[in-house]
Structure 1
C-alpha cells in the first residue's frame, strides 16, 4: 500500500485489480476503468499565510480548515519556490523550479517556455483520471474573453465565475471614480468591466450579501455540483479560491467575527536592521488601493482595518472549504479521496513593515500545506520536516500510484504522511527578482534550513553578491540581518556553499529519483548568472474554445 497507508477494506481489492490492469489511455468520457482508485481534491488558496488555528494562531477563525488538519498532516515548514502567484503555481504544477521555468512574474504562461511539459493534472489525466479546474488554479487573467489556463491539463476546459471585486454602491462608485475611461459611468458598465479585468478600488469592503454573490462562494457551489456529477469515476478536481487576495472583500458576516480594537498587530513592524534595500519592496500591491496611503506610514487604525479584512477573507474561504468537505462526506467519497490544501505563497500583513508578498522573507516564502490521505496512521499530526510546493507533484503521484514523469525537480514526501517525524530535507530553496521587472533585475536566491535563512543577491550592476542571514531560533521575527557580523562569517560561507550545491544535495537520502540525492556536486541552478532578464511582454497561448462559465 502507498507509503504504509491502510486503505479501507471496502475497496482495497477493487483498487488492486484496477492498478494491475495498468494505466488507461482512453478519454475520460469513454473509460470503463473502475473508480476505486484514490481521488484527489486539490484546494488552492491565493495569498494565504499559515496563520490558522491549526498552526497555533488563535486570532483567525478557521474551523473547517482545522477540521481537515485533524484528518491529515499539517506541514509547519512548507515553502514556495517564489512568492508570486503565476511563477509559484507554474513551479508547483510542473515540479520545475523558477530557474527552469524562467517564469518570474505574472506576464508569461509557462507553455511559452516549456511547451511540452506534462503538468501534474495532465499526468493524472493520462492515467485514467477525470481532471477539472474550478476557480483560480493556474494564475489566469480573470478576463472572460481571454482564458489563461492550460487546456492540456484538463479533461474539460477550466471553469471560472465572473470576477466580483466589489458589491456595495460605495465600492462601485469608487471604481467609477478611479477608472472613468475604462469603466464608464453606469453600474452595468462597471460590472462588465470587473468581469474583464481586476481594477483596483477600495482596499476592503464588507457587503451584506450571501456567500455565492462572490467568486469563491460560486466556486464552492460549482465544486459541490461537480462532485455529484463525477463521484463514480476517479478524479483529480482542482479548486482555486481567490481570497484572501486583495482587495479584501468578503460578506459582512465574516467581518463581524473580528473585533477591530482587539486585533493583534505584528510584533515586528519594521525592516530588519542592516538589511539590503534589495530585500524588500514598497508594498505597492496594497498601497495601490483606496484607503491605504500611497507612501509613508500606514496609520495603526488602517492597519487594523486591513488585518480584520484579511482575516475575514480567510474565514470566508474557510467556510467554502467546509461546504466542500461536507459534500465529500455526504457523497461517501472521503474514504477514497486525498485532500490537499495549499497556499501559493505566504503574505506580509504588516510583518517586517511590509504589506503583500514578493520577498524572500519567511512571511512570504512559508506556506500553509495540509495533506489528508485515507488510512494514514498520522492523521491529525504535525510535521516540522522541510518540504516544498514543488514536491507535491511527485508526492501525489506516489500516493495515487500514478507514474511520475521525467525531469521533476521536487521530491516525494510520501513517507512523511505516515511518519511525520522522520528526518527529511536539509533545506528549501526560494528566489525572487528585485525589482519585479527590468532588463537588469537583481535575483535573490535563498536557502532555508530548520534554523537559518541565507539569501544571496546577485546582479551585473553589483560588484559582489549581497547577503542576508537570519537565525529563526534566536530571532524568529527576522529583526537583524547577521550576514556581515564577523562572528557569523563561517556560517555564512557554509550556507552559501550549500545554496550553490543546490536542491538535489539537500534532499533526504535515498528518495525515489535519479540517484543524485545527497550529492553536493549537483548544482541547483543552470550556469550561474549574475543578472536575469524579465520580459515585460504578456504571452498568452491561444485557446480555441472559451472557458466554460
Structure 2
C-alpha cells in the first residue's frame, strides 16, 4: 500500500483517533513561504486572468491544494504577521499597527512564536527574507532573528534603474511606501528575492543533524516600490493590459449614522487617475507578481529533487490582500475583500489532494495550530486560531465558521465565505457594511441598512471580539530603520559568518 492510500485508509477507519496521532510518526518538515503584499492576482486563484504565474500554478496543480477562501488576521504587514506568528489576534495583544513591535507589547512579548514553538521541540529552525515585520532596535535591526536557530541575510541587489515612472500631482501625496515602479538592470539571478529563494533551495541539500526542519522564506515582491528586471515587464505589453473596471461611486453607501461618508479616494488612486496611469501601475504589479513566481520556481524545483519532497509540509501564503483601484484605493489596509483575502496554497504529502480548490473558510492565524496538529505536537493553549487539519484531509467538508480580520483598534470584519460583515467601532462609531458575495463578489452594494438582512447581521455580530486590548506602546526605536551604524570590521565579520553558515 502506498503512502497516500495508507493515510486515506486511516482517515476513514479511525474517526475516534485524533488526526495528530495518525500523523505523528511521519516526521514532517515544514517549508513556510511568505509573499509580501500578494493578492489573488495568481493564475490558480483567478483574481486577474492576465497574471502569468507558471510556477505557483504548476505547484498547485501537481502538489498543493488552493485554499480559495483564506483570510488574513489584519490588513497591514506588522499586525498580520504578529498575529499569525504568535497565534493571537490583535484584540488580545494590542499590536494593531506597523509601528508596534510584538517584542515590546506587554501582552505579546512573552508568547512563544510559531518558529520558537517548533524550535523548542526538536526542530531546526532557519529563515531568510521577511517573516516577522522589521523594526529598528537599539541593538540592531529586529527582523525576528531571535526566533530562529539560523537567520541569514542572503544578499542580492537589483542593480541600476533603467527606467522608472512615479505619478506626481501637486497637492496629492501617495503616503506610505513610494508609489513608483520601473525596470532594473539585474540580472534576475542577483536580485534579492531570487538570491533568497536560491539560498533556501540550497538548504534542502543539508542533513540538519537528523532533525526535522522548519524553513521560513520571505519573498519581498510585490511590495512597493515595484522595481524588477525588464524581462518581467516584457511579459505585459502596456497596450494589452486590461484595466480594472472603475466604479467611482463605490464608497458612497459606506456612511456614518448621520449619513456622512467614511471613506474618500486614496492618494495613490488620485495620482493614478489624474496622470492616466492605472494601466501602468497594474502592469507594474503584475510584473512583480511574475518576478516573485519566477524566484519561487527555483525553490519548488529544488524541493521536488530533494530527499525531503515526500515528507515536507509546504504552506505558501500572502500576508494580506492588496487593492489595485478597487474601492478607489491602491494598497492594503481597510477591511474589504480585496484587502482581507489572501493567496494560500498547502501541501501535506500523503494527505492533501493536488489540483483541488478548497472552499472552506480559513485564516492565516489558523496555520499555527494546524501545523502543530499535523506534526503531532501538543496544542498551544494560547492559540486563538483553530486547526484546519481535518479540512485538509477532507476538503469538501463544511467549514464556514466566520473568521476575523482587524484593522486598527475596534474595526473588524467577518466572513463566512458568502457574507462579509464589517463593524467600525473605532473609526466611525458603529457604522456597518454587509455584502453578499453570491451576487456581489466585488462588494459594490452595502446591504447593512437593508432590513431584509437584519438576521444575517445579528448572526455574524455574535463573532465580533468581546475584548479589545488597547494599543500597545509604539516601538521606541522605530527611527532606527537599519539599527546602529556598524563599522567596516563588524560588517566584514557578519559577512564572514553568513558565508560560513
TM-score (structure 1 length as normaliser):
0.75
Q: 1:169 to 1:142 in 2, by over 3 A?
A: farther
Deviation (angstroms), 1:281: 6.6
- State the SS of the aligned residue for 1:76: strand
Residues in 1 aligned to 2:416 and 2:306: alpha-carbon distance in whole angstroms: 42
Which string of whole-angstrom CA distances, capped at 9 and with x for unpartnered residues, describes residues 245-267 of structure 1? Answer: 00111111111111212222223
Q: 1:167 to 1:474 in 2, by over 3 A?
A: same
Paired position in structure 2 for 1:188? none
Q: 1:169 to 1:53 in 2, by over 3 A?
A: closer
Paired position in structure 1 for 2:12? none
1:315 to 290, 296, 299: 290
Paired position in structure 2 for 1:389? 364
Q: 1:480 to 1:102 in 2, by over 3 A?
A: same
Deviation (angstroms), 1:53: 1.2
The answer on whether the counterparts of 2:159 and 2:185 sit within 8 Å (CA) in structure 1 is no
Q: Which moved more, 1:54-63 or 1:268-277?
A: 268-277
- State the SS of the aligned residue for 1:55: coil
The answer on whether the counterparts of 1:278 and 1:457 sit within 8 Å (CA) in structure 2 is no
Q: 1:133 to 1:273 in 2, by over 3 A?
A: same
1:45 has 2:35 as partner: yes
1:58 to 30, 49, 55: 49
Residues in 2 aligned to 1:235 and 1:407: alpha-carbon distance in whole angstroms: 23
Give matches, 1:72-221, under 5 Å. Answer: 72-113=64-105, 114-141=108-135, 146-156=140-150, 158-161=151-154, 164=157, 167-168=160-161, 203-221=180-198
Residues in 1 aligned to 2:474 and 2:133: alpha-carbon distance in whole angstroms: 17
Paired position in structure 2 for 1:245? 223
Paired position in structure 2 for 1:468? 433
Deviation (angstroms), 1:160: 2.7
Paired position in structure 1 for 2:345? 370
The answer on whether the counterparts of 1:448 and 1:454 sit within 8 Å (CA) in structure 2 is yes
- State the SS of the aligned residue for 2:410: strand
Q: 1:280 to 1:42 in 2, by over 3 A?
A: farther
Deviation (angstroms), 1:170: 5.5
Residues in 2 aligned to 1:267 and 1:282: alpha-carbon distance in whole angstroms: 15
Paired position in structure 2 for 1:519? none
Which string of whole-angstrom CA distances, capped at 9 and with x for unpartnered residues, describes residues 157-177 of structure 1? Answer: x22345857731666x99xxx
Paired position in structure 1 for 2:14? none
Q: 1:145 to 1:62 in 2, by over 3 A?
A: farther
Paired position in structure 2 for 1:456? 423
Deviation (angstroms), 1:207: 1.7
The answer on whether the counterparts of 1:131 and 1:154 sit within 8 Å (CA) in structure 2 is yes
Deviation (angstroms), 1:65: 0.6
Instruction: State the number of aligned residues.
Output: 454
Which string of whole-angstrom CA distances, capped at 9 and with x for unpartnered residues, describes residues 355-396 of structure 1? Answer: 000010000000011100111252221110100000000111
The answer on whether the counterparts of 2:162 and 2:183 sit within 8 Å (CA) in structure 1 is no
1:525 has 2:489 as partner: no
The answer on whether the counterparts of 2:101 and 2:474 sit within 8 Å (CA) in structure 1 is no
1:379 has 2:369 as partner: no
1:346 has 2:292 as partner: no
Q: 1:334 to 1:416 in 2, by over 3 A?
A: same
Give matches, 1:440-455, under 5 Å. Answer: 443-455=410-422
Deviation (angstroms), 1:334: 0.9
Which string of whole-angstrom CA distances, capped at 9 and with x for unpartnered residues, describes residues 87-117 of structure 1? Answer: 0001011111111121111112112122221
The answer on whether the counterparts of 1:166 and 1:205 sit within 8 Å (CA) in structure 2 is no
Residues in 2 aligned to 1:144 and 1:209: alpha-carbon distance in whole angstroms: 33
1:499 has 2:492 as partner: no
The answer on whether the counterparts of 2:75 and 2:335 sit within 8 Å (CA) in structure 1 is yes
Deviation (angstroms), 1:480: 1.6
The answer on whether the counterparts of 1:134 and 1:219 sit within 8 Å (CA) in structure 2 is yes
Deviation (angstroms), 1:348: 0.2
Q: 1:259 to 1:450 in 2, by over 3 A?
A: same
Residues in 2 aligned to 1:118 and 1:5: alpha-carbon distance in whole angstroms: 36
2:447 to 444, 466, 482: 482
Paired position in structure 1 for 2:16? none
TM-score (structure 2 length as normaliser):
0.82
- State the SS of the aligned residue for 1:467: strand
- State the SS of the aligned residue for 1:218: helix
Paired position in structure 2 for 1:223? 200
Unaligned segments of structure 2, at least 5 residues: 9-19, 167-175, 485-489
Residues in 1 aligned to 2:177 and 2:416: alpha-carbon distance in whole angstroms: 38
Residues in 2 aligned to 1:375 and 1:443: alpha-carbon distance in whole angstroms: 41
The answer on whether the counterparts of 1:112 and 1:539 sit within 8 Å (CA) in structure 2 is no
Q: 1:103 to 1:298 in 2, by over 3 A?
A: farther
Residues in 2 aligned to 1:214 and 1:145: alpha-carbon distance in whole angstroms: 28
Residues in 2 aligned to 1:318 and 1:525: alpha-carbon distance in whole angstroms: 40
Higher relative contact order structure (alpha carbons within 8 Å, sequence separation ≥ 6): 2
RMSD of equivalent CA atoms: 3.4
Which string of whole-angstrom CA distances, capped at 9 and with x for unpartnered residues, describes residues 484-527 of structure 1? Answer: 2333334333332x233xxxxxxxxxxxxxxxxxxxxxxx331x
